[in-house]
């Protein structure tokens, strides 16, 4: 099992930690494998878990897809994107309430992962956003989740404009539900929120989440397969490849 | 073609200006046809973004209802043209930025539905007061509902009150507020130029996918136009429209 993501369970609460701090927790095949293993465990043995917190180790939440790992092997991006698409569905389908504690940068697919969660917490200085179009890529996998979270109108603006925004702006636009002033404050806010939710009746929480998933049609597998195919196709195109190469040449 | 819509290309942006400032850019069928054609013309001419704006003190006051005087079917023609114009802005591959400075009323507000990003000055007046005239705003509903959600959409279309852009920004109908009209034009230009500078295939693919997600529950646009057209329009009603229009000016 990969330790690029770890799971700890403590009674009714669990934490999935994205754990590649040196790479700002960028989504490599390893990290996705680690999250998948955590989801396996929760699906198998997590019947007593009421709240799952998703957080990044170190200073970032998740810097997005590990572009370096796919730079010399573009077809592997297709695997990465379909793995991510599938993972968003599994995370959404977890019976437990999911909380993203966005402790630092949450970029592209990393921000998308937060958008899948039931509740998103962050702090004023965190950086969130979807700069995919700036790189010539298409944020198709994250789009359905952002649309559900902030509405189709605002999502259109955020995704077409690209770039990143402060935690404060993300809170104004509805990407983030509650905002702490800083990183330390976020730890307290997260803890407080987890404890408050864990008090709720487990059956009632599950029934409520299941209904919300049903109402917004968020477990649509065909839609996510198509999203992954669109993202991969654009990613492998000349426009994206030349921009991504140029970016790494600069760095 | 009409002289009341001017298009110029600047820095990759097709600037499409409604240009009938003496009547606050009141819409004629020809103007709506020009707006409908604008995205494909812009793409053909090599632009990478469309900026829709209005000349003079306001973006657009809605339909030119004086046309009803000589034509029984004027409102129907205008509604059909409006529906097609909104759809063309939305369906085209280029992103659309709209500057709703001053006022966007009735058909003018409906045009916001076709835009990807809307900029307005804080005191701009935005609203859909057409039920007052006996016209159904149904043609706006599919776009407005996606933009602001079901609750705000119902309130905005059914209650004929006109709000300022601050309230419109709060519900997500306007995306960027500026202190005055001049700043709105500048901000809209800045956003349009920024979009025009981004990789075009990525922007087109992203817009296409967002459009597809919008219609995941089915395309109700044709049905919406039908609903707006289904109201009877007699001579008496036309007189009322013209009287109200004149009173409002």
Question: B215 — contact with chain A (CB < 8 Å)?
Answer: no
Poorest-pLDDT segment among A36-45, B26-35, B228-237: B228-237
pLDDT for A33 = 96
Judge: B205–A132 Cβ closer than 8 Å, yes or no: no
pLDDT in tens, A47-88: 999 999 999 999 999 999 998 888 878 888 999 999 999 999
Tell me whether B216 touches chain A (CB under 8 Å).
yes
How far B101 CA lies from chain A's nearest CA (Å)? 19
Residue B97: closest C-alpha in chain A = A157
What torsion, rounded to 10 degrees, do the Cα atoms A238, A244, A247, A251 define? -140
Q: Tell me the three state secondary structure of residue B176.
A: strand
Nearest in space to A50 (alpha carbons), one of A20, A10, A86, A109: A10
Query: How are the residues of chain A apportioned to helix, strand and coil, as percentages rounded to the nearest 5?
Result: 55, 15, 25
Tokens of A107: 């970029």
Neighbour-count burial for B167-183, b at 16+ CB within 10 Å, e otherwise = bbbebbbbbbbbeebee
Whether the pLDDT of residue A19 is over 90: the answer is: yes
pLDDT(B234) > 80: no
When pLDDT is averaged across residues B20-30 and rounded to a whole number, the result is 97
In terms of pLDDT, which residue wins out, B178 or B228?
B178
Q: How large is the average pLDDT for residues A126-131? A: 98
Q: What is the pLDDT of residues A198-207, one digit of tens each?
A: 988 899 999 9
**Residue A226 to residue B195: CA distance in whole angstroms:** 25
The SS3 assignment for B175 reads: coil
Q: What is the pLDDT of residue B3?
A: 86
Residue B249: pLDDT above 60? Answer: no
pLDDT of residue A55: 98
pLDDT at residue B199 in the model: 96
User: Mean pLDDT over all residues of chain A?
Assistant: 95
Per-residue DSSP letter, B14: E
Residues 6+ apart with CB under 8 A from A63: A23, A24, A25, A26, A105, A107, A108, A110
pLDDT higher than threshold 60 for residue B243: yes
Supply angle C-alpha B157, B159, B165, rounded to 5.
75
ipTM of the prediction = 0.92
Q: Give the Cα separation of A22 and B156 in Å (integer).
A: 50
**In whole numbers, what is the pLDDT of chain B averaged over residues?**
93
Nearest CA in chain B to A174: B172
Percentage of chain B with pLDDT > 70? 96
Instruction: Identify each DSSP E strand in chain B by its residue range.
Output: 5-10, 13-18, 49-54, 96-99, 103-105, 117-121, 125-127, 163-164, 176-178
Is the pLDDT reported for residue A209 higher than 80?
Answer: yes
Q: Do residues B15 and B51 make contact, with C-beta atoms less than 8 angstroms apart?
A: yes
What is the pLDDT confidence band of residue B240, given thresholds at 50, 70 and 90?
confident
Torsion angles phi and psi, residue B157, rounded to 5: -80, -30
Checking if the pLDDT of A1 tops 60, the result is no
- pLDDT tens digits, B112-150: 999 999 999 999 999 999 888 888 899 999 999 999 999
Question: Stretch A174-195: mean pLDDT, rounded?
Answer: 97
pLDDT on residue A2: 74
In this prediction, residue B248 has a pLDDT band, given cuts at 50, 70 and 90, of low
pLDDT of residue B231: 75
Question: What pLDDT does residue B29 have?
Answer: 97
Q: Residue A22: pLDDT above 90?
A: yes
A136 interaction partners in chain B (CB closer than 8 Å):
199, 201-202
Residue written as tokens 């603006």? Answer: A157
- Max CA separation in chain B (angstroms): 54
């Amino acid at each position: 099992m990969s330790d690029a993501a770890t799971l700890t369970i403590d009674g009714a609460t669990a934490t999935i930690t994205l754990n590649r701090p040196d790479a700002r927790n960028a989504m490599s095949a390893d990290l996705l494998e680690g999250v998948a293993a955590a989801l396996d465990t929760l699906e198998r043995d997590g019947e007593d878990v009421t709240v799952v917190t998703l957080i990044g180790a170190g200073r970032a939440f998740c810097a997005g897809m590990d572009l370096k790992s796919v730079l010399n092997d573009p077809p592997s991006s297709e695997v990465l994107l379909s793995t991510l698409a599938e993972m968003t569905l599994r995370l959404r389908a977890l019976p437990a309430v999911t909380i993203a504690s966005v402790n630092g940068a949450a970029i592209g697919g990393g921000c998308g992962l937060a958008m899948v969660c039931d509740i998103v917490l962050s702090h004023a200085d965190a950086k969130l956003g979807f700069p995919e179009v700036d790189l010539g890529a298409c944020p198709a996998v994250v789009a359905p989740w952002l649309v559900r979270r902030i509405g189709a109108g605002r999502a259109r603006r955020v995704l077409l404009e690209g770039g990143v925004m402060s935690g404060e702006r993300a809170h104004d636009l509805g990407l983030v539900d509650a905002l702490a002033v800083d990183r330390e404050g976020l730890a307290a806010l997260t803890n407080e929120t987890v404890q408050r939710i864990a008090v709720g009746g487990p059956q009632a929480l599950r029934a409520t989440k299941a209904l919300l998933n049903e109402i917004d049609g968020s477990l649509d597998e065909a839609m996510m397969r198509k999203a992954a195919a669109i993202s991969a196709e654009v990613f492998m195109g000349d426009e994206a490849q030349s921009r991504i190469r140029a970016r790494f040449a600069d760095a | 073609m009409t002289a009341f819509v001017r298009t110029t290309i600047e820095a990759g942006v097709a600037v499409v200006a409604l240009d009938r400032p003496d009547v606050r850019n009141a819409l004629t069928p020809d103007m709506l046809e020009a707006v409908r054609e604008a995205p494909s013309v812009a793409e053909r001419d090599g632009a990478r973004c469309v900026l829709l704006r209005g000349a003079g003190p306001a973006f657009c006051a809605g339909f030119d209802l004086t046309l009803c005087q000589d034509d029984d079917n004027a409102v129907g023609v205008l509604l059909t043209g409006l529906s097609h114009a909104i759809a063309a802005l939305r369906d085209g591959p280029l992103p659309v930025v709209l500057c709703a400075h001053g006022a966007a009323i009735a058909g003018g507000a409906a045009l916001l539905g076709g835009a990807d990003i809307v900029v307005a000055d804080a005191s701009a007046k935005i609203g859909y007061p057409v039920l007052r005239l006996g016209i159904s705003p149904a043609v706006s509903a599919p776009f407005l509902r996606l933009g602001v959600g079901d609750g705000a959409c119902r309130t905005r279309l059914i209650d004929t009150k006109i709000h300022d852009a601050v309230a419109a920004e709060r519900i997500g109908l306007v995306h960027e507020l500026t202190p005055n009209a001049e700043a709105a034009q500048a901000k809209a230009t800045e956003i349009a130029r920024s979009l025009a500078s981004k990789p075009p295939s990525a922007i087109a693919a992203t817009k296409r996918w967002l459009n597809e997600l919008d219609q995941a529950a089915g395309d109700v646009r044709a049905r919406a136009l039908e609903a707006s057209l289904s109201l009877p329009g007699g001579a008496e009603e036309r007189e009322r429209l013209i009287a109200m229009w004149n009173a409002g000016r």
